Amino acid sequence: MEPASGLRLDHNHHLSLREFPYIIRWRDDRCKRCGKCTAVCPVKAIEATVKVQRLVKSEGPVPAPAAVRSITHIVEQVTDMERYCTGCGTCTLVCPNEAIEPEFNPQHKFLHYKNKGGDGYKRGGRRNDPSISTLDRLKFTRISMLTDPALDAGRHEFRVRSLLGRILPPEDLPLKTVDGKLTVDKDSIFIPPVREIFPIMIGSMSIGALSPPMWEGLAMGVAYLNEVEGLPVVMCSGEGGMPPRLLRSKYLKYFIIQIASGYFGWDEIVHALPHMVEDPAAIEIKYGQGAKPGDGGLLMAQKVLKLIAKIRGVPQFVDLASPPTHQTKYSIEEAVAKMIQSMSMAFGFRVPVYPKISGTKTARAVLNNLARNPYAAALCIDGEDGGTGAAYNVSMDKMGHPIASNLRECYLDLVKQGKQNELPLIAAGGIGKKGNLAANAAALIMLGASGVAIGKYIMQAAADCFGDEYNRCNLCNTGKCPRGITTQDPKLYRRLDSDRVAERVVEVFKAADVELRKLFAPMGRSTELPIGMSDGLSIDDPAMAERLGINYAC
Amino acid sequence: MRAKTTIKKKSAVSTRQSMAKKIKPEEQIVQIKGKTALIKGKVNGKRVSSRVLEEWIQHSVQEGARELYIIADGQHGIGGRIWPRGEAIKITVEGPVGQRCGSMGMSGTEILVKNSVSDDVGWINCGAKITVLGDVTNGAWNAAAQGILYVQGSGGARCDTMTKHNPRFEPPQSWYFRNVGDSFAEFKAGGIAVVCGVNPRNTENILGYRPCVGMVGGTIYFRGPIQGYSEKDVQLLDLTEQDWQWLKTNMKPYLEAIDRMEHYKELTRSSNDWKKLMAYTPQEKRARKWFKTSTSDFRKNMWEKAVGQGGIFAEYLDHELTLLPYITTGAERRNKPVWANEKYAPPCAYACPTHIPSHKRASLIRQGKLNEALELVLQYSPLPATVCGQICPNLCMQSCTRGRLDKPLNIDKLGKLALDLPAPKKAAATGHKIAVIGGGPAGMSTAWQLALKGHTVDLYESADKLGGKIEQCIPRERLPHEILEKEISRFRELGVNLHLNTRVTKEKFDEIYKGHEVVVIAIGAHQPRKIAFPGSGDIVSAYDFLKDINSGKHPDLKGKKVVVIGAGNVGMDVCSEAFNYGAESVTSIDIQKPAAFGAEMEIAKAKGTQVVWPRLTERYDKKDRKLYFKDGSSMDADFVVMSIGDVPQLDFLPQGIHAERGWIKVNENYQTSDVKVFAIGDVTGLGLITHAIGHGRLAAEHIHYLVSHAPRFPEIKQVIPYERIKTEYYDVCKGDFTPEAEANKCMSCATCRDCRMCEATCYWGAISRVEHKDGSYEYVVDENLCIGCGFCAGICPCGVWEMVENV
């Protein structure tokens, strides 16, 4: 009979810990019950509770039983799927005694259960695929020793730089000689704006997706790299506006402002236009995102606090939806052309404007349209391994196109048209997934990219983001980021030191600069970025080699 | 070393001889006279190969020559690898000299080149002294480890690269009179280089483009303008006195060797003319700050100057711009504990329609206040021994948390213990007049409560006894009559004005309505429901059947086959009584799964009642003594009782009181559509006796506020979830019933049992017990110590502590 309280007993739906993706290993013998772990667990996956043990002893020469009960206070993992352990390991981080640690459970059945309420599992992070990506399988196999001038990364001066913006072919350049000197006649035709940048940029992550100290830390790091180190790294704002203080500062030139389907913050940006002392580095028009192709975004009302509301130009506590598509988009020709026109016009045609799309089989169609548009400054393609603050797991895991072949086919299309040096391609999505930032970037550059954009990597490297491809943490969408990276809760984001983030950004980019030299120098390239230098690349899979048009080496 | 062994070997000598034969005559290449030898690199217009020239040089030394004069013709490596075993070898070279002159030169060798040399002079020098009266080109002194290089002119690119200092020997020295080319001293690891800067070819930069890249050791003295050097590798310094002395001392032999003594004064004029470049030590490099400026300084001095104080977001942030640790206290905690004593209802009190707080009774017993504990129940019910102790299915016990561990608390037995208690004291009379129509459990309950609160209550009962169906229909075997009588007599002590044998008609109701502030209708349901089918007139209702028995009219069912239609709890009472009065067999039928449960069902089944379902009755044939069903089957039935419930008789109701389908409609406060009239118990729908008692209490509560004109905010407590009660603390119970044992068994759900477990478990000492003057206590949290770990909430035996968001 059912108990009178109406509680339904349903033991069959009690999950065992074996179904969970991470199992907490807690050591009774080490724990001093200080409660730090339970205090910090972002999802309350662990809690203090009571354990009873009963021991029957018989110590005499004849049976003389004595039962001893002992009740202890323990730390226990809960078996509620809504409070599953994400494996973030904040408990391990704060434990003074190394008494607690989550352990990945490869037999978990998480996705079988994570659909309560009839909604699919949503999360942050990127594709949960820990296998070696194509980018990490690419090797640099054309080494100059005696066949080309052997360069030394440590000894030779390098300029690892790329160009963002449409580059006119030499025959179109209005060159003329004035007083015996070759100059460009800038008044005769439209000369598209071009920026010289470091080929690795920080991709679009919005204020809102990121916490204030995270976004500011990245921004400061970028400014530092430019101002102090002379490394022209740029960063994209993401769709969430830009703080007016930054818009009006001289540092605006290091930032690419993104416009996406929600147009958030753009009225505030327009209001700031007359006060700008510098042009932004570029404008990125977001049409798609590698992590969730064809899907939009939603910043939930509880995250829309004062700061977000002000910067995005919206009231507080409302849901902010970025639809999957721009509402005024009717065709490639019409939509892209008019967006590029509008955005170019906003900044007096002095700023490169380029669209960003998610990796797709149809990328070449977009590219060919852009190739014919004299105002299109570049094309950014975000592959399937790109990250996001929030998306359905199914979009992240199963949708999208790998970046390598997508970028390659686009580049080869440009080569066919003889325009490979005119329209830069920016590749993104999964760069540095296994930590090989420079190698992945170099591989993409040699497949044809003029630059690459990183997101997840910099969160991991600069702010110690716990997320990985074993679905560790990935709480970005919940606002409970234990590192304070993707939350608007001051109690959490005040854990993050923006000065330290900036410092790490500087270290990351300086190291990447060194590593890019270490890769390019032995291949004999130092002054020009080896864009499309695919004869330097090999892969250990013949089919991949054929698809990418590179060498097969084994 | 190799030169020596080559010469010593016989085969090598024969090779040399055969070689000499080929180039005839050998005297044309080499002429040895005592200790001198003349060696020509070009004979009869034909150039001698580097290999052959080398053989003759080695041969000459082997033959005893110690002064060699070589007229070169571009041969490679002239003058190196000669090992005179302690003696000195002087080699003078003139003519076009090939690459790597003096390479691997050994100590004791002195080479004088009378003109400029080609690349890599002194390559891997191991001690030779080389003087070049001209320029050295690219790569001079590359990898030199010992020895001296004197250059009268200037050096080409990449001179002095990879030079070393082997601690077994003196460091190598290289002296350049004019200037050197680009990439000077790259990866220099030791040795001393001197660049005098006299009449330099590049007047703006005597050390060339980017010198000293990767330099880790050694010193460079130079005199003249430079344009940068690898700052991460070397430091630019003034000369020390020791440097200056060394330079002055060694300058003289250098200038003598290159025949430039006339510049001695100029070059040793002042140490201020000179600078030195020295490699940073590894320690210095490690200690070096990696950042040109710290990011915090960058923020302060550049970023905030450009974007504003506090950074780009400061204007929108309401909190301090400081960092927080992962473990926080006070307002910065993410969650905080709350001592939510009695915030939730324990399952027993929640399940009880009267909400009798059995946990409080247990608490009082634990405190040694047994009487108070027993008396407490009378505040909730006038019939604890009758209802809780006898006839109630005890919903409280069914939901008791303890039952999840072993057995529920014996709340029924606690109820029985209240039998002999006197009536509690009434509150002072209020003067409010309230009428209660019906003296059953509902009417008695509400009258009891209202009387306790000091109101004047008139109770109207149509029968001659109080108790309603408890008196009339509950089999005496389930409820010994003396228990009921005892409790009714206690009820009477309270001074409710009883109007027995008073049937309320329309007119009477009107009179009562006018004479009282509030009227409570608690008439129950005393009209048996019947389904009409052929022969139903020959069927007795359960109501009449049971009522007759309790009033002394006993049926004779000896040897009869009894069928009871309707297998609810009343049906079960009928079955039991049928057996009591001699029935041979009793079958209970129902059209659906029987609703009966608890004691009624158990007693009836124990006596032999068969329960059969589903059966839809079609007709009863009294003659055949058969009950026919719609499925065509039949059943022997000497006596048939219909027990499908009773409905109220509402013919006295005025129009203003709304009823639906025969039941009076009430709101959550048991108020009818006439705000002055309340209805409770079975008249609002069939329920258990305990429901009737509960209605009575809750309605009285509301009426009390109503007549006192006080606003009422009823406290609606949620039930505490079972998981919050830590049953682990309790051992499985053994032993018999005593109130004290029961009290200890009680887990005190949602109510603090003052065990101090929270205080003990809190690692941070944040929890303490505070006793108030009135004897009450509470547990409080020092928020400056608490980190919000939730241990108190996790381990509280009673589930009193709970964690809430710290906002």
Q: Mind listing the pLDDT tens digit for each residue in A259-285?
A: 998 888 999 999 999 999 999 999 999
Q: Running DSSP on this structure, what letter comes out for residue B106?
A: B
Closest alpha carbon within chain A to B232: A154
End-to-end C-alpha distance for chain B, whole angstroms: 86
Residue B107 has which token pair?
Answer: 């100590």
User: What b/e sequence results for A424-448 when a residue is b if at least 16 CB atoms lie within 10 Å of its CB, and e otherwise?
Assistant: bbbbbbbbbbbebbbbbbbbbbbbb
Are the Cβ atoms of B312 and A245 closer than 8 angstroms?
yes
Tell me if chain B has a CB within 8 Å of the CB of A488. no
Q: Name the B residues in 785-804 with CB < 8 Å from any A CB.
A: 787-791, 793-795, 797
Cis check: omega of the bond before A293, within 30 degrees of 0: no
Are the Cβ atoms of A307 and B317 closer than 8 angstroms?
yes
Single out the residue of B504, B501, B520, B511 nearest to residue B434, CA to CA.
Answer: B520
Looking at the structure, tell me whether residues B368 and B491 fall in a common domain: yes
Q: For an interface test with B, give the residue of A1, A49, A76 to mutate (most B CBs within 10 A).
A: A49
**Coil vs helix vs strand at A126:** coil
Looking at the structure, tell me whether residues B257 and B231 fall in a common domain: yes
Looking at the structure, tell me whether residues B486 and B587 fall in a common domain: no
Quick check: is B141 in a domain? yes
Helix (H) or strand (E) holding B745: helix B739-745
Q: How far is B655 from chain A (nearest CA, A)?
A: 37
Q: Which CATH number belongs to the domain containing residue B417 in this structure?
A: 3.50.50.60
Single out the residue of B352, B389, B689, B641 nearest to residue B525, CA to CA.
Answer: B689
Helix (H) or strand (E) holding A523: none
Confidence of residue A194 (pLDDT cuts 50, 70, 90): very high
Q: How far apart are CA B588 and CA B266, in angstroms?
A: 134
Q: How far apart are CA B589 and CA B618, in angstroms?
A: 13
Q: How far is B269 from chain A (nearest CA, A)?
A: 36
Single out the residue of A544, A515, A481 nearest to residue A214, CA to CA.
Answer: A481
Strand A200-202, strand A451-454: pairing: parallel
Q: How far apart are CA A525 and CA A528, in angstroms?
A: 6
Q: What is the pLDDT of residue A149?
A: 67
Find the CB nearest B213 among A37, A155, A229. A155
Looking at the structure, tell me whether residues B199 and B146 fall in a common domain: yes
Q: How far apart are CA B113 and CA B140, in angstroms?
A: 14
Residue A10 has pLDDT above 70, yes or no: no
CB A20 within 8 A of CB B411: no
Q: How far apart are CA A283 and CA A349, in angstroms?
A: 11
Mean pLDDT of the region A468-482: 94
Q: How far is A334 from chain B (nearest CA, A)?
A: 37
Tell me if chain A has a CB within 8 Å of the CB of B333. yes
Give the gyration radius of chain A's Cα atoms: 27
Grouped pLDDT means (10 residues each) for chain B, 807 residues: 42 48 62 91 91 92 92 93 83 95 93 96 95 96 96 96 95 97 95 96 95 94 95 94 96 96 96 96 85 93 96 93 95 96 95 93 91 92 94 93 90 91 92 95 96 96 93 91 95 94 94 95 92 90 92 90 93 93 93 88 91 91 91 92 92 91 93 94 93 95 92 86 93 80 90 95 97 94 97 96 94
Quick check: is B311 in a domain? no
**Coil vs helix vs strand at B562:** strand
End-to-end C-alpha distance for chain A, whole angstroms: 69
Tokens 């407490």 sit on residue: B376
Q: Name the B residues in 381-420 with CB < 8 Å from any A CB.
A: 395, 398-399
Contacts of B598 in chain A (CB under 8 A): none
The full 3-state SS of B35-56, as one line of letters, equals CEEEEECEECCEECCHHHHHHH
Q: What is the pLDDT of residue B11?
A: 45
Looking at the structure, tell me whether residues B555 and B626 fall in a common domain: yes
Residue B212 has which token pair?
Answer: 């000293």
Q: How far is A296 from chain B (nearest CA, A)?
A: 26
Looking at the structure, tell me whether residues B236 and B150 fall in a common domain: yes
Looking at the structure, tell me whether residues B366 and B432 fall in a common domain: yes
Contacts of A32 in chain B (CB under 8 A): 763
Mean pLDDT of the region A148-163: 78
Confidence of residue A378 (pLDDT cuts 50, 70, 90): very high
Contacts of B301 in chain A (CB under 8 A): none
**Coil vs helix vs strand at A71:** strand
Quick check: is B736 in a domain? no
Are the Cβ atoms of B729 and A50 closer than 8 angstroms?
yes
Q: For an interface test with A, give the residue of B184, B229, B323 to mutate (most A CBs within 10 A).
A: B323
Q: What is the pLDDT of residue A524?
A: 80
Quick check: is B522 in a domain? yes
The ipTM, to two decimals, is: 0.93
Q: How far apart are CA A496 and CA B324, in angstroms?
A: 8
Quick check: is B252 in a domain? yes
Q: How far apart are CA B610 and CA A310, in angstroms?
A: 76
Helix (H) or strand (E) holding B595: none
Closest alpha carbon within chain A to B158: A155
Are the Cβ atoms of A5 and B351 closer than 8 angstroms?
yes
Instruction: Give one DSSP letter per residue of A209-234, joined into a string.
Output: TB-HHHHHHHHHHHHHHHHTS-----
Q: What is the pLDDT of residue A8?
A: 57
Single out the residue of B154, B159, B175 nearest to residue B246, CA to CA.
Answer: B175
Q: What is the pLDDT of residue B794?
A: 96
Single out the residue of B643, B622, B515 nearest to residue B570, CA to CA.
Answer: B643
Residue B39 has which token pair?
Answer: 């060696």
Closest alpha carbon within chain B to A34: B763
Confidence of residue A525 (pLDDT cuts 50, 70, 90): confident
CB B641 within 8 A of CB B656: no
Tell me if chain B has a CB within 8 Å of the CB of A192. no
Name the phi and psi angles at B280, rounded to 5: -70, 145
Looking at the structure, tell me whether residues B544 and B461 fall in a common domain: no
The full 3-state SS of A80-112, as one line of letters, equals CHHHCCCCCCHHHHHCCCCCEEEEECCCCCHHH
Give the rounded percent of residues in chain A with a pLDDT score beyond 70.
97
Single out the residue of A177, A98, A126, A21 nearest to residue A395, CA to CA.
Answer: A126
Is B765 buried (19+), middle (13-18) or exposed (0-12) by CB count in 10 A?
Answer: exposed
Q: How far apart are CA A381 and CA A448, in angstroms?
A: 12
pTM over 0.90: no
Q: Name the A residues in 45-104 with CB < 8 Å from any B CB.
A: 47-52, 69, 71, 73, 90, 93-94
Q: What angle do CA B359, B365, B371 make, to 5 degrees?
A: 110
Q: For an interface test with A, give the residue of B161, B312, B688, B757 to mutate (most A CBs within 10 A).
A: B312
Looking at the structure, tell me whether residues B167 and B277 fall in a common domain: yes
Residue A80 has pLDDT above 70, yes or no: yes
Looking at the structure, tell me whether residues B256 and B360 fall in a common domain: no
Q: How far apart are CA B245 and CA B254, in angstroms?
A: 14
B700, B715, B730 - which closes a domain:
B715
Mean pLDDT of the region A405-418: 96
Q: Which CATH number belongs to the domain containing residue B208 in this structure?
A: 2.160.20.60
Tell me if chain B has a CB within 8 Å of the CB of A219. yes
Helix (H) or strand (E) holding B662: none
Quick check: is B459 in a domain? yes
Q: What is the pLDDT of residue B235?
A: 94
Q: For an interface test with B, give the residue of A44, A49, A76, A245 to mutate (most B CBs within 10 A).
A: A245
User: What b/e sequence results for B3-13 when a residue is b if at least 16 CB atoms lie within 10 Å of its CB, and e otherwise?
Assistant: bbebbeeeeee
Are the Cβ atoms of B298 and A3 closer than 8 angstroms?
no
Q: For an interface test with B, give the residue of A1, A157, A220 to mutate (most B CBs within 10 A).
A: A220
Find the CB nearest A50 among B183, B315, B795. B795
Tell me if chain B has a CB within 8 Å of the CB of A178. no
B594, B613, B647 - which closes a domain:
B647
Closest alpha carbon within chain B to A490: B319
Show the domain range for B436.
Answer: 353-526+663-715
Q: How far apart are CA B624 and CA B637, in angstroms?
A: 9
Tell me if chain A has a CB within 8 Å of the CB of B113. no
B264, B287, B310 - which closes a domain:
B287
Quick check: is B456 in a domain? yes
Q: How far apart are CA A139 and CA B604, in angstroms?
A: 86
Contacts of A251 in chain B (CB under 8 A): 303, 306-307
Contacts of A311 in chain B (CB under 8 A): 316
CB A39 within 8 A of CB A95: no
Q: Which amino acid, one-letter code, is at A479?
A: G
Helix (H) or strand (E) holding B96: none
Q: How far apart are CA B195 and CA B223, in angstroms?
A: 6
Q: Which amino acid, one-letter code, is at B5?
A: T
Looking at the structure, tell me whether residues B668 and B557 fall in a common domain: no
Looking at the structure, tell me whether residues B394 and B495 fall in a common domain: yes
CA count, 13 A, side-chain hemisphere, B594:
26
Quick check: is B796 in a domain? no
Q: Mind listing the domains of chain A with CATH numbers?
A: 16-119 (3.30.70), 163-509 (3.20.20.70)
Q: How far apart are CA B606 and CA B387, in angstroms?
A: 22
Q: What angle do CA B328, B329, B333 make, to 5 degrees?
A: 70
Cis check: omega of the bond before B393, within 30 degrees of 0: no
Q: Running DSSP on this structure, what letter comes out for residue B278?
A: E
Overall domain count for chain B:
3
Tell me if chain B has a CB within 8 Å of the CB of A24. no
Contacts of A312 in chain B (CB under 8 A): none
Q: How far apart are CA B187 and CA B222, in angstroms?
A: 18
Are the Cβ atoms of A491 and B324 closer than 8 angstroms?
yes
Distance of alpha carbon A376 from the chain centroid: 24
Single out the residue of A401, A458, A403 nearest to residue A429, CA to CA.
Answer: A403
Strand A282-286, strand A255-259: pairing: parallel
Q: What is the pLDDT of residue B163?
A: 96
Q: Name the A residues in 492-511 with CB < 8 Å from any B CB.
A: 492, 494-500, 502-503, 506-507
CA distances from A112 to A84, A104, B774 (A): 13, 17, 56
